[in-house]
Amino acid sequence: MQDKDKKSTETEILEYWQKNKIFEQTLAKTKKGKPFVFYEGPPTANGKPGIHHVEGRSFKDVILRYKTMRGFRVPRVAGWDTHGLPVEVEVEKELGLKSKKEIEEYGIEAFNKKCRESVWKYKKLWEDMTARMGFWIDMDKPYVTYENSYMEKLWGVIKNFSVRKLLYKDYKVVPWCPRCGTSLSSHELAQGYKKIKEKSIYIKFKAKDKAGGVFYFLVWTTTPWTLPGNVALAVNPKATYVVAEKDGARFVLVKERAGVLEENYKIISERSGQSFLGVEYEPLYRTSGSELPIFNYKVIGANFVSTEDGTGIVHIAPAFGADDQKVGKENGLTTLITTAENGKMLTPDYLWNGKYFQEANQFIVQNLKERNLFLKEESHEHDYPFCWRCDSALMYLAKNSWFLKTTAVKKEMLAENKKIGWHPEFIKDGRFGQWLKENVDWAISRERYWGVPLPVWICEKCGHQEVVGSINDLDKLGPKRTTRVFVVRHGEAEHNVKGIVGPAIPARDFDNHLTKKGIKEAEKTARALKKEKIDLIISSPLNRTRQTSEILASTLGVKMEVNEQIYDYNIGDFHDRSIKDSHIEFPFERRLCEPFPNGESLRDVRARMMMELRRIVRSNSGKNILIVSHGDPMWVLNASLEGLEEKNYPKSWYPKTGEAKELKLHNWPYNRDGELDLHKPYADLVNLRCQKCEGNMSRVKEIADVWFDSGAMPFASDVPGYPADYIVEAVDQTRGWFYTLLAVASLLGKKAPYKNVISYGHVLDSEGKKMSKHKGNVVEPSLLFDKYGADAVRWYFYTVNQPWDEKLFKESDIAEASRRFLNIFRNSFVYWQTYKDKSKISKKKPKLLINKWLNARMNQVGYEATEALEKYDIVKAARAIENFVAEDLSRWYIRRIRDAIRFGSKKEKEEISSIFGLALYEVAKLSAPFVPFLTDKMFLDVMGKGSIHLEKWTKFKKPSKADKKLAEEMNEARRIVSLALEARAKAGIKVRQPLALLKVKSKKLNIKNKELVGLIKGEVNIKEIKFDPKIKDEVELDVNITPELKEEGQLRELIRHIQEKRKEAGLQPSDKTTFVALTDDKGETFVKKFESVLKKEAGIKVISFGEPSKPNRLTISLKFGI
């Protein structure tokens, strides 16, 4: 393996994968395998990908690669989430729009067109990041939520809900974003909470007792802006309340909270909450339009009133709280709307009228103070909801909205949740389980623009409702069609015979007429159309169509008109060129979107023909119309009318010369470009015919919650398989995609849509804040890939902590992850390549103990890693592999075989090379799902072709008793080594200095096993080991160094110095050198004594003394003394 930088090495592998279609090969190889189903949670490409996106994709890819190597068929289809507030808010910023009113002034059609363009803003960055990090997924055929086919299936899902009576409209209090002007669902609400500090106030509601004495109900609130909407006060009937006197005034509040009066108050009496029911009080405000008489404001009972905070008395404003609305309905209370949808106050009698609701707080508080209805204020810290997309403070507002009755399937969702393999396990009954228990009906409608229009049509006459499930339903339920349209392509003309492009516009139409065959074709078609009772013929202005039309008009006896807009495909400068040549230079994909020089594109033709067809149909209602035109215009017109995707145009009907066809006029929405388009405003223009009263039906204005788009993906996309075996997204998706997937499936009566899920923690910046494009603290992945390699970034996520733990991101941790595993693995591989024997790797049973142990240990690690991956314990598997490579392979095995692989017998070298190579191969396979680049580079360096990712996963065996015993003995030997090296360090004796004796106390050590003892001797550099149960410590070293031992130590030091010089010179182990010893007579004697050892172990060919005569890179000179 050459020492290239990580970027160039990984780029080289990427190019190899693409050139040889390795991903496609893995799918082909496993096409008959058992399916393993994966769903991709679709991102939105209107924001740049960050390192937090690499985290999720890393945890996805590792399991998918692993399962593929296990022989499973693992189709991986990418997806794009393309609708909703995430897109709209970005486009608003881009266009400088600040409200829905400004959007509507700009134009919904133009706004939605910008939204469509915006979702692909960073598509290439996403695709590049996905490829660069090695995440294998089909990006060429993704599911896209704004495509008609996907949206139509979503309509089908909604119709299914309706049939099951799970879709309904109701007037409810919903979370409302005044900036975005739309309601939000409970799961969207849950994603935007922030802890804030704000002022809470204690206010006085004036009342009178039976004797006419004045007292005050004391109320606590954090939302003064809701006070104008107050219609009642609520107490807990079961609680005990007190009447307390302070500064000459009497206050009523719950007994447990009397302390809020602070000092100098006296409790006069105690009463039950029940006793206050029906007591009237004076309203704080009288709002114009209220029908409530001044003393019809009463105290009501409500069990939700708490005695632990506030005052035990809650002011009730049914327009601004779900509990308030519920108790309001139970008590027949009026709902006062005193705040508009845009967040501005609707209180014309007061100073704060027209103020934003939060701004109104200060005016209302001042007003209460001036009227002596204000007691005190205090700072209050609590969680407050903000819009999950625009970050504006939300309000709760009573609105007519559409809901999915998720509460009806709450029991089913809870039961299915029990079957899901959650990682971490505690989410099952914790964050997700509790969310399901507290489930409320899903507010599915949004008062916005860019999304799936709710397919609900309501009769303007009788109110009958229809939920449409497909575009065919639009035809079935549409107005009765009385207009028929036929098209005829002109008969064969002279340019058809010549095989050239005919004139497209009258200015070029000089001398191109029908051939005799063309005349006969027109006459034959005319006879065939007699039975259709044509009322009018509309002809293209060109000679060949006019001539055809005249023949038709004569035979049919009807009037002919010339229409200047239905001319042939204008290919500009390619006029009179051969059709074959024009198609070679402008193939279909190019012709579709790029105009010919001085001509038009097929999209231009489609838009022109569709616009003219609409005008013709409107102008000739109830007639049978015959349009005579040309091949290409008729082709794209028909394809467009049928709602075909552009990629399917080439396979669709293309008219022959003289051929007639009746067009099917659908009751479908088409945009200005002539495409089928189910979005607003086009869907809003489609009307239906009421099946009850024949009245006109129009679509409701709302679109669907964007979370429904992705939540219904198993039923709206072509992703194969249900349910998913595996999905992965961030922990906040317990309130998002994880929930909506389960909710949609349960509403459809299906089982849980996923079996196993990893919910990973957020990546935090250096200040501990969640990374997001909104905060601008996103780390760009490409910079990290280039600097450290994608493998290092991936390995960081697999080993830094558990997937679900938050990750305080530090770049240095990636470098550490690389050093801890990748560098060691790479160096181990290089070492094997350097010293391996030429014989092939074999699986023969080894004879050397160290090799037997390595085989056993490799099998154990493989077994453990496989078991962990089967349980989706990615971190456990990764750490097991890392520990094996770093501790077992590098720090033990390689150290113990260094001499044998270099200087051992031929058989020893062959066996070590084979077992070492086999271990590296198995580790490479184990690691391949985690670090796909390095492992494939190693594989290709050895094999030269293929891929590690096409290899089969090894079936590791459960460790045998013999293997476990061997592992225990080796662990004990390594423990003894560790203790002995520690004793050396304490004695200040280097390991290169041999010692005579090591005494061992442990009975676990198999002293009889000479190979095992030999390993200890070699690692500790000891001559003899003895068992001695009487020694004080676990080990005892004989630190006496004899002259012979000292001399041997000096030899080791000299060899080390020579090796360092070789390394500095960049020499390979195979390079033989000349060693020039710069020393005294004593040193020369020493070198000569150990000449053979030096030559063997230091790669020396010639030894000389004195200054070198001809220095070169293979000459090493070293000054030393003995």
User: Which among 664, 679, 698 is the end of a domain?
Assistant: 664
- Paired sense of beta strands 756-760 and 688-689, if any: unpaired
How far apart CA 138 and CA 901 sit, in angstroms, is 45
Q: What is the pLDDT, as a whole number, of residue 1111?
A: 61
Among this protein's residues, is 791 annotated catalytic? no
**Catalytic entry in 6, 43, 81, 635:** 81
Question: Does pLDDT of 1004 surpass 90?
Answer: no
Q: Say which CATH number the domain at 641 has.
A: 3.40.50.1240
Q: Mind listing the pLDDT tens digit for each residue in 1076-1107?
A: 888 888 888 888 888 888 888 888 888 888 77
How high is the pLDDT of residue 1118? Answer: 67
Per-residue pLDDT, averaged over 817-837, amounts to 94
- Which member of 126, 457, 707, 853 is catalytic? 707
Active site residue 399: no
Instruction: List the single range of 823-827, 851-855, 935-939, 1102-1106 with lowest mean pLDDT.
Output: 1102-1106
Residue 1109, pLDDT score: 59
- The first and second tokens of residue 323, run together, are 């509990």
Which parts are annotated binding residues for substrate?
Answer: 489-496, 544
Is residue 686 situated within a structural domain? no
| pLDDT band of 1120, cuts 50, 70, 90 | low
Q: Are residues 231 and 343 in the same domain?
A: yes
Q: Are residues 559 and 653 in the same domain?
A: yes
675 domain residue, yes or no: no
Which helix (H) or strand (E) element contains residue 269? Answer: strand 265-272
Annotated binding site: 489-496, 544
Q: Which residue range forms the structural domain that includes residue 261?
A: 193-385
Q: Parallel, antiparallel, or unpaired: how do β-strands 1022-1027 and 421-423 relate?
A: unpaired
Asked if 840 and 862 sit in the same domain, the reply is yes
Say if 690 falls within a structural domain. no
Q: What's the mean pLDDT in 1008-1027?
A: 89
- Residue 962 included in any domain: no
Q: How far is CA 698 from CA 455, 461, 477, 675, in A?
A: 10, 10, 12, 21
Residues 1030 and 1072 in one domain: no
What pLDDT, on a 0 to 100 scale, did the predictor assign at position 831? 92
How confident is residue 504, by pLDDT bands cut at 50, 70 and 90?
confident
The model's confidence at residue 578, banded by pLDDT at 50, 70 and 90, is confident
Find the catalytic residue in 435, 450, 737, 853: 737
659/521 same-domain check: yes
In-domain check, residue 455: no
Q: Which of 1019, 1041, 1063 is the last residue of a domain?
A: 1041
Catalytic residue among 6, 17, 42, 175: 42
Q: How many domains does the chain have?
A: 6
Say whether both 862 and 910 belong to one domain: yes
Phi, psi for 523 (deg, rounded to 5): -65, -40
Q: Which of 606, 631, 664 is the last residue of a domain?
A: 664
Q: Note the pLDDT of residue 1113.
A: 60
Dihedral class, residue 734 (left if φ above 0, else alpha if ψ from -120 to 50, else beta)? alpha
Catalytic residue check, 737: yes
* Annotated catalytic residue within 298, 773, 1017, 1061: 773
Q: Model confidence over 621-666: pLDDT tens digits?
A: 999 999 999 999 999 999 999 999 999 999 999 999 999 999 999 9
* 913 has a pLDDT exceeding 90: yes
Please indicate, yes or no, whether residues 838 and 774 belong to a single structural domain of this protein. no
- Cα(91)–Cα(86) distance, rounded to whole angstroms? 9
Within a domain: 284: yes
Find the mean pLDDT for residues 320-336: 93
**Whether residue 1069 has a cis bond before it, omega within 30° of 0:** no
pLDDT of residue 295: 46
Let me know whether 1064 and 981 are in one domain: no
**Same domain for 373 and 259:** yes
* 314 in a structural domain: yes
% of the chain beyond a pLDDT of 70: 97
DSSP 542-583: SHHHHHHHHHHHHHHT-EEEE-TTS-----GGGTTSBHHHHH
DSSP letter for 885, please. Answer: I
Q: Are residues 106 and 255 in the same domain?
A: no
Amino acid 1121: pLDDT: 64
Q: Are residues 380 and 231 in the same domain?
A: yes
* CATH classification at residue 929: 1.10.730.10
Question: Is 770 among the catalytic positions?
Answer: yes
Question: Over 50: is that where the pLDDT of 260 sits?
Answer: yes
The domain that holds 369 is classified in CATH as 3.90.740.10
Average pLDDT rounded to a whole number, residues 138-156: 97
pLDDT tens readout for residues 942-978: 999 999 999 999 999 999 999 999 999 999 999 999 9
- pLDDT digits over 455-474, tens only? 999 999 999 999 999 999 99
Q: Is 358 a catalytic residue?
A: no
Q: Is residue 583 part of a domain?
A: yes
Segment 589-612 mean pLDDT: 96
Q: What is the pLDDT of residue 391?
A: 87
CATH code for position 40: 3.40.50.620
Task: Looking at the structure, tell me whether residues 129 and 60 fall in a common domain.
Answer: yes
773 catalytic residue (yes or no) = yes
One-character DSSP codes across 97-149: --SHHHHHHH-HHHHHHHHHHHTTTTHHHHHHHHHHTT---EEEEEEETTSHH
Instruction: Report which of 37, 85, 38, 41 is spatially closest to residue 739, judged by C-alpha positions.
Output: 41
Is 60 exceeded by the pLDDT of residue 3? no
312-326, 449-463, 534-548, 1021-1035: the lowest-pLDDT one: 1021-1035
48 catalytically annotated:
no
